[in-house]
């Protein structure tokens, strides 16, 4: 059978990795796919990239629509990122009857419902394994490997940059900004790194996972999103003293009232495997009713790890090119006409345990005032630390409390009342605590 010709949109970090892996592993890939896969055409604003990648014969263009509209190209691989141009290109490729592979989590999270509907109409595949957790095949695991299960919850470290920052702060005492600059230099961070540190990138990925896990439409806009920029080195140290690591987690949980879909810094007991996933590595822990816990771990960013997922999708598409569209695995794991209308819960409706850190005046009776407020809100305390001031005459001390599970709305009211006390200086720092058992 003649080789299949693919077009790459973008020859940057992931595009370059994809071209390299396809070339290096061509023989094995052909044995897997049943026919050769050739990168025939690429769109890039840096034409010298083709020869840098050892592909001087590659046709290149600065206009990505040239690739999308080329009749020889059967699969368009979108690796330029961003929302608007990428959306236009993908929709045009679908219109032209081409299959699409993309690593673009923002595109899928925001426009996936529309894109998948168009793809289904056109009988083509839009594959997006590389959009979540880099090289970890988590989409395939959820969509196919765990298809027997009612997924109850999942929790993931799904932003490599954020995990790298938290790990370096904890292990080496490095400053936030310095580690972020290194993550940018290593090619881990998004073009706008606030997407990493403020949790937007993780929220894109979580909304995709949640949709596939529970069979609901993509609802990125309803994801509660909180970043890691307020986490101080003190919080990292206090969490450790209490037996926890702080991780930037995406959590999706099915409850009787609806679905929790939230990204925020989270304290996890150190003894959990996922609490020990460090650096740029990602991990997703899934709890299914039949299988129990399964944990997926691997590189969450970088050229070849992400290319591993992109190329796997290309191979998958090649394998099913001749199957009837209705016999393919549905884009969002569940049949498109059977997606459920389950509400995504507001953050105030969730239940969580909490770590609270507050700066308080250093004199008798202060703690009693704080515990009175918590007691009146039925919030019970599991652990408590009061840091000795370095200087015995210091006027302010840190108080750290760990609470049992409580409704977030009730906790918000208690925090407001604590912050209003004259003896408390500034805002109360709050980190949600998850046991993940």
- For the CB of residue 304, give the shortest distance to ligand HSE in the complex, in Å: 13
User: Looking at beta carbons only, is 205 or 430 nearer to ligand HSE?
Assistant: 205
What track of x and - describes contact with ligand HSE for positions 287 through 306 (by CB under 6 A)?
Answer: -------------xx-----
Q: What are phi and psi of 410, to 5 degrees?
A: -65, -40
- Rounded Cα gap, residues 416 and 428, in angstroms: 9
* Catalytic residue of the set 87, 98, 105, 205: 205
Question: Which two tokens mark 62?
Answer: 């600065």
Residues 180-219 binding ligand HSE (CB under 6 A) are 188-190, 196, 201
Question: Residue 403's beta-bridge partner residues?
Answer: 381
Among 104, 120, 159, 210, binds ligand HSE (CB under 6 A): 159
User: Looking at beta carbons only, is 160 or 288 nearer to ligand HSE?
Assistant: 160
Stretch that binds ligand HSE, among 33-41, 159-167, 258-266, 415-423 (CB under 6 A): 159-167
424 contact partners, CB below 8 Å, separation of at least 6: 358, 359, 360, 361, 366, 370, 418
Question: Which two tokens mark 113?
Answer: 């419902």
- For the CB of residue 141, give the shortest distance to ligand HSE in the complex, in Å: 17
Residues 367-406 binding ligand HSE (CB under 6 A) are none
User: Looking at beta carbons only, is 201 or 226 nearer to ligand HSE?
Assistant: 201
Stretch that binds ligand HSE, among 5-13, 153-161, 338-346, 399-407 (CB under 6 A): 153-161
Count of residues touching ligand HSE (by CB under 6 A): 11
Among 156, 160, 199, 265, binds ligand HSE (CB under 6 A): 160
- For the CB of residue 414, give the shortest distance to ligand HSE in the complex, in Å: 34
- Rounded Cα gap, residues 47 and 41, in angstroms: 12
User: Looking at beta carbons only, is 129 or 201 nearer to ligand HSE?
Assistant: 201
Among 10, 134, 135, 265, binds ligand HSE (CB under 6 A): 134
Among 13, 18, 74, 161, binds ligand HSE (CB under 6 A): 161
- For the CB of residue 58, give the shortest distance to ligand HSE in the complex, in Å: 25
What is the three-class DSSP state of 426? strand
User: Looking at beta carbons only, is 142 or 318 nearer to ligand HSE?
Assistant: 142
- Is the separation of the CB atoms in 94 and 122 below 8 Å? yes
Stretch that binds ligand HSE, among 66-74, 88-96, 157-165, 341-349 (CB under 6 A): 157-165
Question: Residue 77's beta-bridge partner residues?
Answer: 8, 101
Task: Give yes or no: 205 in active site.
Answer: yes
Question: Residue 76's beta-bridge partner residues?
Answer: 7, 100
- Is the separation of the CB atoms in 160 and 184 below 8 Å? no
- For the CB of residue 251, give the shortest distance to ligand HSE in the complex, in Å: 17
Q: Applying CB under 6 A, does 15 fall inside the site for ligand HSE?
A: no
- For the CB of residue 427, give the shortest distance to ligand HSE in the complex, in Å: 28
Cβ-in-10-Å burial (0-12, 13-18, 19+) of 322 comes to: exposed
Question: Quick one: how far is CA 132 from the chain centroid?
Answer: 6
Q: How many residues does the chain have?
A: 437
- For the CB of residue 188, give the shortest distance to ligand HSE in the complex, in Å: 5
Can you spell out the DSSP letters for 36-95? -EEEEEEE-S-THHHHHTT-TTSEEES-HHHHHT-TT-SEEEE-S-SSHHHHHHHHHHHH
- For the CB of residue 161, give the shortest distance to ligand HSE in the complex, in Å: 3
User: Looking at beta carbons only, is 160 or 227 nearer to ligand HSE?
Assistant: 160
Longest alpha-carbon distance in the chain: 83
Stretch that binds ligand HSE, among 117-125, 158-166, 323-331, 389-397 (CB under 6 A): 158-166
| 165-173: long-range pairs with CB below 8 Å, 24+ | 165/197, 165/228, 166/228, 166/231, 166/236, 166/246, 166/247, 166/248, 167/278, 167/279, 169/231, 169/233, 169/236, 170/236, 170/240, 170/245, 170/246, 171/278, 173/233
393 contact partners, CB below 8 Å, separation of at least 6: none
- Rounded Cα gap, residues 401 and 345, in angstroms: 26
- Residues tagged active-site: 205
Residues in contact with ligand HSE by the rule CB under 6 A: 134, 159-161, 188-190, 196, 201, 300-301
């Amino acid at each position: 059978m003649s080789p299949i010709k693919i077009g790459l949109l973008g020859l940057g970090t992931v595009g370059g990795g994809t071209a390299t892996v396809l070339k290096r592993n061509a023989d094995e890939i052909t044995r897997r796919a049943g026919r050769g896969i050739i990168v025939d055409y690429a769109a890039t604003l840096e034409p010298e990239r083709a020869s840098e990648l050892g592909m001087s014969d590659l046709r290149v263009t600065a206009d990505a629509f040239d690739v999308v509209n080329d009749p020889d190209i059967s699969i368009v691989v979108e690796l330029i990122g961003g929302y608007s141009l990428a959306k236009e290109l993908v929709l045009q490729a679908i219109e032209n009857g081409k299959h699409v592979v993309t690593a673009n989590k923002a595109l899928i999270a925001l426009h996936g419902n529309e894109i998948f509907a168009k793809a289904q109409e056109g009988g083509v595949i839009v594959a997006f394994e590389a959009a979540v957790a880099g090289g970890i095949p988590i989409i395939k695991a959820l969509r196919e490997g765990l298809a027997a299960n009612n997924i109850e919850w999942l929790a993931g470290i799904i932003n490599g940059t954020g995990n790298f920052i938290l790990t370096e702060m904890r292990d080496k005492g490095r400053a936030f900004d310095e580690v972020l600059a290194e993550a940018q230099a290593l090619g881990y961070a998004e073009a706008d790194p606030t997407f990493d540190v403020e949790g937007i990138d993780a929220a894109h990925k979580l909304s995709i996972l949640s949709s596939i896990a529970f069979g609901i439409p993509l609802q990125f806009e309803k994801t509660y999103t909180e970043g890691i920029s307020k986490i101080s080195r003190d919080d990292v140290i206090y969490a450790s003293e209490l037996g926890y690591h702080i991780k930037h987690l995406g959590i999706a949980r099915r409850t009787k009232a609806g679905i929790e879909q939230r990204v925020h810094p989270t304290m996890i007991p150190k003894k959990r495997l996922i609490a020990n996933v460090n650096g740029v590595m990602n991990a997703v822990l899934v709890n299914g009713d039949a299988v129990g816990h399964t944990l997926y771990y691997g590189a969450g960013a970088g050229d070849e790890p992400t290319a591993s997922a992109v190329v796997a999708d290309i191979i998958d598409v090649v394998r099913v090119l001749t199957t009837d569209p209705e016999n393919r695995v549905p884009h969002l794991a569940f049949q498109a006409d059977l997606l459920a209308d389950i509400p995504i819960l507001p953050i105030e409706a969730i239940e969580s345990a909490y770590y609270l850190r507050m700066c308080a005046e250093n004199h008798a009776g202060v703690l009693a005032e704080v515990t009175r407020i918590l007691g009146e809100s039925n919030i019970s305390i599991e652990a408590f630390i009061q840091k000795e001031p370095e200087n015995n005459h210091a006027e302010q001390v840190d108080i750290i409390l760990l609470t049992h599970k409580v409704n977030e709305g009730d906790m918000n009211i208690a925090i407001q009342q604590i912050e209003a006390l004259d003896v408390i200086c500034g805002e109360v720092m709050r980190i949600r605590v998850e046991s993940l058992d």
